[in-house]
A and B are shown apart, each in its own frame.
Chain A
Amino acid sequence: MTPRTVLVTGVGGYLGGHLAARLAANPAIDRVLGVDTVGPYRAVAGLPGRVEFVRADIRNPLIAKVITSAEVDTVVHASLTANPPGPSRRSAVKEMNVIGAMQLLAACQRAPSVRKLVIKSTAAVYGAGARLPAVLTEDGPPRELSSSGYAKDAVEVEGYARAFARRRQDVEVTVVRLSNLIGPSVDTVLTRYFALPVVPTVLGYDPRIQLLHSEDALAVLERAATSPVSGVFNAGGDGVLLLSQAIRRAGRVPFPVPRAAMPTAGRLLRGARVVDFSADHVRYLNHGRVLDTTRLRTVLGFTPRWTTRQAFDDYVHGSGLRPVLDPTVIERLERRLVGTR
């Protein structure tokens, strides 16, 4: 089914804004509506596209009127915030995430024109821990998480989406669980984390991290919105990096902090308004998380163009990180010692 009228939520954010612009560039799609409470994402605001911006709050039942009057057939819910890059107000984000999704789904349920729903979710729904399998597949039900984490919101929203799929069986529901995004132009908790000159890590732990290039994230959401397949899909780049390895590749200096002192270090960084260091993120730094992407390739037919390592290198180059420890210095030292060149 090719969508004709698409509604994208969260166009004020990086993913929502760029996704709306990409969909608008697709000639098969007649109309793209972008919804958010703030203006459209700055990088796409000036683009000559056919995105019609609707300033509306998805927590308000008025959203139903937008959907029915425009006869929207595909809804892409991209405004779920699971990893806010910087310190943000927890209660406000939670309300936006949970109440917003509830209202949006209620509006979709009453709109007979809706045929497809795509939810941007996060790999954080799996949690992180020593008792989890090393490579997570979509079959494993999301584990119970801490009651305060942002990931909890995503688990709840996925639950509402499942309930919605039961009530409206004629609507194809696709949930995409994105790994941590990275890239030169995106602002996420990890891009800020690796930009710190001294990177705090948890002493004695070296988690495996899997990354998804922001361009791949947009492409996979676009594919999910335009493809006839539905279901739950993990999305992440090939391969993994160890955290220590990533820090070395970025030329940063790791700073191991004992696990018990991690919350304090996190509060300091949060207080300095540098990076959001939530309990979720600390758990992630403890154990890491790797997704199995077989379903993404075989069922959705999407292969990420950047591997985890390539995506990370692209971020390191594109964001102009100046290495604190320059690899060329090490190399020069090596050459002088061996005296070969």
Chain B
Amino acid sequence: MKVTRVQQQAQVIPLDRAERQRKPTQEGPPVEPTPLRPPPSEEPATGLRGVVADALGFARRRLSGDYTVDQFGFDPELTDAVLLPPLRAVYRKWFRVEVTGAENLPASGGALVVSNHSGTLPWDALMTAVAVKDNRDRYLRMLGADLVFQTPLLGALARKSGQTLACNPDAEHLLRSGELVGVWPEGFKGVGKPFADRYKLQRFGRGGFVSAALRTGVPIVPCSIVGAEEIYPKIADLKPLARLLGLPYFPITPFFPLLGPLGLVPLPSKWHIHFGPPVSTEEHAAAEDDPAVVFALTDQIRETIQQTLYRMLNQRGNPFLG
């Protein structure tokens, strides 16, 4: 009698709403998940109907969550279909970007693209990403400041377009998996420098990007960008306002904030992006923790970019006509 009572106690069915609906888990071989719905049969449609079908297929995949992102949140489909086209229009029509030395970017495998930073707002990074995509058909995985990832909307978009936080674990992870990684080592010091200091490279941080390249044994491609300095000539900086807003600087340009949102339109300077010959890091592979080697290599890259900038500026005529 006692035993039965114990058994009855042990088999009390809980009145838990969430639990009742669920079937018990089955042991056994790996469950190949049943697709949420049968895959739509591919019927190649042409002409206008094809365009509509493509657009609708895209909309359906987006609405039902049927797409893949990588560990960093990079969504190639969204980047190609939604994020790149408007940037490409700016790239071609507004800044009329001219690219040289694209063959210095490896067609496959990891490489670190190191570039000068300028322009108050990081248009140069976006344009370099378009340049890499259009000339070498590869995605540039850029390393951004933590401010980007703290900002609502911007942070989510940055992740979806393949960017990640500028820190060594992330950079090395991407380089090891054979990605093309872009870094702007001057950071806010470079992008927010006054117009008077244009085309003068700032300090290259602590050379963290060089140690990442050394540890993963990938080449470093120096990249020089001319034209981005003129898009928002920063003539003053409202430091107290910047501190209040938690920004690294609050720029005053001839048109911002004077013209309000209109002042946010970048001036249509003519751009030139040059990718220099890759610098191999293999011979220093053993010296990844030697600060002297890291600093020497950092200086070498910095000097290369600076000299290339001076040469390109000499060849340039009018900043807006090229």
Where the two chains meet, the residues of A that have a C-beta atom closer than 8 Å to any C-beta of B are: 39, 42-43, 45-46, 130-137, 140, 183-185, 187, 191-192, 195, 202-206, 208, 214-215, 239-242, 244-249, 259, 287-288, 290, 292, 305-306, 309-310, 313-314, 316-320, 325, 327-328, 330-331, 334, 337-341
B146 CB, min distance to chain A CBs, angstroms: 5
What are the residues of chain A within 8 A of B164 when measuring CB–CB? 134
Per DSSP, are chain A's interface residues mostly helix, strand or loop, or mixed?
Answer: mixed
**Assembly CA distance A242 to B11 (angstroms):** 39
A185 in contact with B22 (CB, 8 Å): yes
Per DSSP, are chain B's interface residues mostly helix, strand or loop, or mixed?
Answer: loop
Picked from A134, A313, A316, the residue with its CB within 8 Å of the CB of B73 is A134
**Assembly CA distance A208 to B69 (angstroms):** 9
Known contacts A331-B60, A338-B53; A133/B73 CB under 8 A: no
Give A243's nearest chain B residue, CB to CB.
B156
- Contacts A134-B71, A247-B65 aside, 9 further interface pairs with beta carbons under 8 A come to A130-B149, A134-B170, A204-B155, A206-B156, A215-B25, A249-B66, A330-B63, A338-B49, A338-B56
B64 in contact with A248 (CB, 8 Å): yes
**Assembly CA distance A287 to B152 (angstroms):** 10
A213 CB, min distance to chain B CBs, angstroms: 9
Interface size on B, residues (CB 8 A): 60
B149 CB, min distance to chain A CBs, angstroms: 4
B71 in contact with A46 (CB, 8 Å): no
B311 CB, min distance to chain A CBs, angstroms: 37
**Assembly CA distance A89 to B104 (angstroms):** 61
**Which residues of chain B from 27 to 45 have a CB within 8 Å of any chain A CB?**
27, 30-34, 36-37, 40-41, 43, 45
What are the residues of chain B within 8 A of A340 when measuring CB–CB? 43, 45, 49, 53
**Assembly CA distance A132 to B168 (angstroms):** 11
B5 CB, min distance to chain A CBs, angstroms: 14
Known contacts A134-B72, A134-B170, A242-B69; A314/B43 CB under 8 A: no
Segment at the A interface, from B13-21, B194-202, B255-263, B281-289? B13-21
Give A317's nearest chain B residue, CB to CB.
B34
**Assembly CA distance A184 to B23 (angstroms):** 7
A132 CB, min distance to chain B CBs, angstroms: 8
B37 in contact with A135 (CB, 8 Å): no
- Could you write out 27 A-B pairs with CB less than 8 Å apart? A42-B11, A45-B11, A130-B155, A132-B165, A133-B167, A134-B72, A185-B22, A187-B16, A191-B18, A192-B18, A195-B18, A205-B152, A208-B69, A208-B71, A215-B25, A241-B69, A242-B69, A248-B64, A248-B65, A249-B36, A292-B173, A306-B33, A309-B68, A331-B37, A340-B43, A340-B53, A341-B41
Known contacts A205-B155, A248-B64, A330-B63; A133/B11 CB under 8 A: no
Which 10 residue pairs of A and B lie closest in terms of their CB atoms, listed nearest first? A204-B152, A248-B65, A249-B65, A130-B149, A185-B25, A313-B33, A204-B153, A245-B65, A206-B156, A133-B169
Give B19's nearest chain A residue, CB to CB.
A187
Known contacts A208-B71, A239-B68; A42/B14 CB under 8 A: yes
**Assembly CA distance A195 to B24 (angstroms):** 18
Give B157's nearest chain A residue, CB to CB.
A206
Whether a CB of chain A sits under 8 angstroms from the CB of B159 is yes
B65 in contact with A246 (CB, 8 Å): yes
Give A323's nearest chain B residue, CB to CB.
B36
Picked from A135, A205, A310, the residue with its CB within 8 Å of the CB of B31 is A310
Known contacts A45-B11, A135-B170, A331-B60; A183/B152 CB under 8 A: no
Whether a CB of chain A sits under 8 angstroms from the CB of B70 is yes
A68 CB, min distance to chain B CBs, angstroms: 28
**Assembly CA distance A69 to B177 (angstroms):** 52
Give A210's nearest chain B residue, CB to CB.
B71
B63 in contact with A208 (CB, 8 Å): no
What are the residues of chain A within 8 A of B63 when measuring CB–CB? 248, 325, 327, 330
What are the residues of chain A within 8 A of B23 when measuring CB–CB? 184-185, 318, 320
Whether a CB of chain A sits under 8 angstroms from the CB of B126 is no
**Assembly CA distance A267 to B72 (angstroms):** 31
**Assembly CA distance A192 to B18 (angstroms):** 8
Max chain B C-beta neighbours (<10 A), residue from A244, A287, A331: A331
What are the residues of chain A within 8 A of B49 when measuring CB–CB? 338-340
A261 CB, min distance to chain B CBs, angstroms: 13
